């Protein structure tokens, strides 16, 4: 089919009511996002029986090679990373859908299903408490630290690409326009992203690096603590121009009660000259962590930024960058709008705040605290003296060693089993994902520290989980000889399957005229590719 063809929209009845499976495995059950670029469905992995989100490129977009490349890049970028703050990609591929007028393979990505809310919707209610804002910014920065270490620049950090789970975990999504830092096929100066959160170098079309993501994060943090955008304008161009030419206002000019320390950290993140910013996401995060106890936890004035539309819950969605909106009649920046809330659950911002702020006493407790203040100080003083005496009189026969545990051997276990064993011992588990030719998907490859090492309760253990064999695109072998086609497929990591004859009016007898699956389809290494050879008839 030519790139000028315009296929019909996919029939929802075909997708949702006919037992249709993406990749012969993933059953879509409800449309939760729809827009100009992509659709997002909530569904079930029929093999592992888990909830997933399925993101598909729309057929009218799939005919464009650049759009397909960007979509596939998202899957490849994220699948190489395993981090708690990054929405995980489980699988990707292409699928021909019956209710389309031509034979178009539609790319799809299967992602982690997030039970939470989009940061953009939470921010519509007004400024956050400083500690909440810092907590969210740290989640973004930890995700960026992982992606930058993996050589990936996100390029579109904004509230619509961040989700908060019900437990308060921050998840960064949509690496669809991310680019490999050292990939010569990518244009590092291409202007992509969202103008409200552009870095100056993005707005100018300069070559960018990871510090562009840090600027965008600082813009998001500025908006979270002030309740107002960094810059405003009538058009995206006017806003982008301000990022280049206007000195960023200080957060205390909008909210004087904010701490000077927080003001200085955000100002450094918003420097026009990237050489004056934090050098890495880890450095930015360390600066925020160093002032956590100084930023305060007083409630922000939620009236500082009235929402443009009534805030509507967006729950249980893994958007892969879809910025969903509560009212499906409105289009939003990323082209997707909320269509459904499958489980009917909701998380109010107040559910998150108590987890992160403990320095504001409940109503009615202030008087009691005042009356008990003097007595409380005496009790605290006596406890401190007792602890000092205990520490000074410790000897080698004390039972402090009981806090140590031996690191068990969890290699070859499933990640879930390993995590359960380690957390039962009081250890903190960090998950990393790595491709493996030999270790099955979901199985532990290794741990750091290794088995047998003595650890203190609470120490961090990194568990490396296999994501299975690497995903590879089927190369084009059309018009090759059988020998050359076989060599090309085997060099790419595939196995040659059946060879069948077929008719071609242009190919010579014996020349390859097609493959099944088709060129460009992404498959695991070792997959079988069937070949069609011209019979000249």
| Model pLDDT for residues 30-44, shown as the tens digit of each residue | 888 776 677 888 999
E-strand spans in 329-443? 336-338, 404-406, 428-434
Cis peptide before 517 (omega within 30 of 0): yes
Q: Is 361's pLDDT higher than 50? A: no
CA distance 96 to 488: 25
Nearest alpha carbon to residue 114 among 159, 164, 79:
164
Q: For the chain, which domains are there?
A: 129-315+345-353 (1.10.510.10), 404-466 (3.30.10.20), 471-534 (3.30.10.20)
Mean pLDDT, all residues of the chain: 74
Helical packing angle, 260-269 and 281-290, nearest 10°? 170
Beta carbons of 121 and 313 less than 8 angstroms apart: yes
Q: Which of 151, 137, 140 is nearest to 173 (CA)?
A: 140
429 versus 98: the higher-pLDDT residue is 429
pLDDT category at 246 given cuts 50, 70, 90 is very high
Question: What tokens appear for 73 in the block?
Answer: 């890049």
DSSP for residue 294: G
CA dist 284 and 278 (Å) reads 6
411 to 41, 69, 293, 420, 482: CA distances (angstroms): 34, 36, 39, 13, 42
pLDDT score, position 2: 39
Phi, psi angles (nearest 5°) of residue 33: -155, 140
What is the Cα–Cα distance from 461 to 428, expressed in whole angstroms?
6
Average pLDDT over residues 117-146: 93
What is the model's pLDDT at position 222? 98
Does 263 qualify as catalytic in the annotation? Answer: no
- Tell me if the bond preceding 449 is cis, omega within 30° of 0: yes
CB 463, CB 415: distance < 8 Å: yes
CB 536, CB 508: distance < 8 Å: yes
Q: What pLDDT does 478 receive?
A: 85
Strands lying side by side in the sheet with 116-118:
116-118, 162-165, 170-172
Strand 460-466 to strand 428-434: parallel, antiparallel, or no bridges (unpaired)? Answer: parallel
Predicted pLDDT at 410: 94
Query: What pLDDT sits at residue 294?
Result: 80
Q: Kindly tell me if the per-residue pLDDT of 263 is higher than 70.
A: yes
- Residue 103 has a pLDDT of 61
Q: What is the pLDDT of residue 201?
A: 93
Note the pLDDT of residue 11.
54
Can you list the alpha helix ranges (DSSP code H) found in 150-199?
none
Taking the C-alpha atoms of residue 111 and residue 461, their distance in angstroms, rounded to an integer, is 25
b/e per residue, 275-299, with b = 16+ CB within 10 A? eebbebbbebbebbeebeeebeeee
Q: Do the beta carbons of residue 88 and residue 185 sit within 8 Å? A: no
Q: What is the tens place of the pLDDT at every residue in 453-480?
A: 887 776 778 888 988 877 788 888 988 8
Rounded CA-CA distance 422/65 in Å is 45
Distances (CA, A) of 375 to 358, 368, 371, 389: 22, 12, 8, 21
pLDDT tops 80 at residue 208: yes
Higher pLDDT, 44 or 395: 44
Q: Decide which of 294 and 528 is more confident.
A: 528
Q: Distance of alpha carbon 149 from its chain centroid, rounded?
A: 15
CA 53 – CA 314 distance, rounded (Å) = 14
Instruction: Find the mean pLDDT for residues 171-180.
Output: 63
Structure tokens at 230: 């960094």
CB-based contact 72:157 (threshold 8 Å): no
What is d(CA 474, CA 489) in angstroms, rounded to the nearest whole number? 8
Q: Are 232 and 214 in contact (CB under 8 A)?
A: no
Radius of gyration of the chain (CA): 27
Q: Which two tokens stand for residue 350?
A: 């107040």
What do you get for the CA distance between the two ends of the chain, in Å? 23
317: closest CA among 168, 116, 136, 89?
116
Sign of CA dihedral 479, 481, 487, 490: positive
Average confidence (pLDDT) over 12-34: 79
**Which residue would you say has higher pLDDT here, 139 or 64?**
139
pLDDT at 280: 94
Q: Where does the pLDDT of residue 1 fall: very low under 50, low under 70, confident under 90, or very high at 90 and above?
A: very low
CA separation for the pair 305, 400 (Å, rounded): 52
Q: Which residues are bridge partners to 455 per DSSP?
A: 405
Question: Which pLDDT does position 99 carry in this prediction?
Answer: 55
* 303 vs 27, more confident: 27
Contact 525, 472 (CB under 8 A): yes
Q: Tell me: the pLDDT tens digits for 76-121?
A: 777 778 889 998 888 888 887 765 535 667 889 998 888 888 899 8
User: SS3 helix, strand, coil % of the chain, rounded to 5?
Assistant: 35, 20, 45
Give the per-residue pLDDT at 244. Answer: 92
Over residues 417-428, the mean pLDDT reads: 87
Helices (H), ranges, 32-179: 59-62, 65-79, 119-123, 130-149
Q: For 171-185, what is the mean pLDDT?
A: 54
Q: What is the C-alpha to C-alpha distance for residues 62 and 83, in angstroms, rounded to an integer?
A: 29
pLDDT of residue 435: 77
- The catalytically annotated residue of 91, 156, 174, 263 is 156
pLDDT tens per residue across span 296-338: 654 333 333 333 333 323 233 333 333 333 332 222 223 232 3
Q: What is the pLDDT of residue 59?
A: 78
Supply the pLDDT for residue 98.
64
Which residues face 534 on adjacent strands?
502
Across the range 357-386, mean pLDDT stands at 37
| Of 258 and 189, the one with more pLDDT | 258
């Amino acid at each position: 089919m030519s790139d000028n063809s315009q296929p019909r929209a996919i029939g929802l009845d075909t997708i949702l009511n006919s037992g249709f499976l993406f990749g012969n495995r993933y059953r879509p059950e409800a449309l939760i996002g729809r827009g100009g670029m992509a659709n997002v469905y909530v569904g079930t992995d029929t093999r592992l029986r888990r909830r997933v989100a399925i993101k598909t490129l729309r057929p009218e977009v799939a005919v464009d090679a650049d759009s397909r490349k960007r979509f596939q890049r998202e899957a490849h970028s994220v699948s190489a990373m395993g981090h708690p703050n990054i929405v995980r990609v489980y699988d990707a591929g292409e699928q021909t859908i019956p209710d389309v007028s031509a034979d178009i393979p539609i790319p799809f990505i299967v992602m982690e299903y997030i039970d939470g809310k989009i940061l953009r919707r939470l921010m519509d209610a007004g400024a956050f408490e400083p500690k909440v804002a810092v907590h969210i910014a740290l989640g973004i920065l930890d995700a960026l630290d992982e992606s930058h270490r993996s050589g990936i620049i996100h390029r579109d950090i904004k509230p619509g690409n961040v989700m908060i789970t019900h437990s308060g975990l921050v998840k960064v999504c949509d690496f669809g326009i991310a680019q490999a830092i050292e990939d010569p096929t990518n244009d590092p100066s291409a202007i992509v992203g969202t103008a409200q959160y552009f870095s100056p170098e993005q707005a100018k079309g300069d070559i960018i690096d990871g510090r562009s993501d840090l600027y965008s994060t600082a813009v998001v943090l500025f908006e979270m603590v002030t309740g107002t955008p960094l810059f405003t304008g009538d058009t995206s161009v006017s806003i982008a121009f301000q990022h280049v030419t206007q000195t960023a206002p200080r957060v205390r000019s909008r909210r004087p009660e904010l701490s000077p320390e927080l003001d200085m950290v955000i100002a450094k993140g918003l420097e026009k000259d990237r050489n004056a910013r934090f050098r890495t996401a880890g450095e930015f995060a360390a600066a925020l962590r160093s002032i956590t106890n100084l930023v305060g936890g007083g409630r922000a004035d939620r009236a500082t930024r009235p929402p443009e539309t009534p805030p509507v819950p967006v729950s249980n969605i893994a958007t892969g960058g879809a910025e969903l909106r509560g009212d499906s009649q409105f289009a939003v920046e990323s082209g997707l709008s909320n269509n459904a809330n499958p489980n009917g659950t909701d998380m109010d911002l107040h559910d998150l705040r108590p987890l992160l702020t403990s320095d504001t006493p409940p109503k009615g407790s202030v008087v009691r605290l005042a009356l008990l203040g003097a007595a409380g100080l005496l009790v605290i003083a006596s406890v401190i003296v007792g602890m000092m005496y205990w520490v000074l009189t410790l000897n080698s026969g004390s039972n402090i060693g009981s806090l140590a545990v031996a690191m068990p051997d969890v290699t070859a276990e499933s990640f879930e089993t390993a995590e359960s064993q380690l957390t039962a011992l009081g250890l903190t588990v960090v998950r990393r994902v790595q491709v493996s030719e030999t270790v099955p998907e979901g199985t532990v490859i290794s741990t750091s520290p290794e088995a047998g090492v003595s650890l203190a309760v609470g120490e961090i253990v990194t568990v490396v989980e296999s994501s299975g064999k690497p995903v590879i695109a089927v190369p084009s072998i059309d018009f090759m000889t059988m020998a050359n086609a076989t060599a090309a497929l085997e060099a790419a990591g595939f196995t040659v399957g059946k060879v069948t004859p077929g008719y071609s009016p242009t190919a010579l007898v014996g020349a390859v005229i097609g493959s099944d699956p088709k060129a460009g389809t992404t498959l695991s290494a070792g997959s079988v590719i069937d070949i069609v050879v011209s019979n000249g008839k």
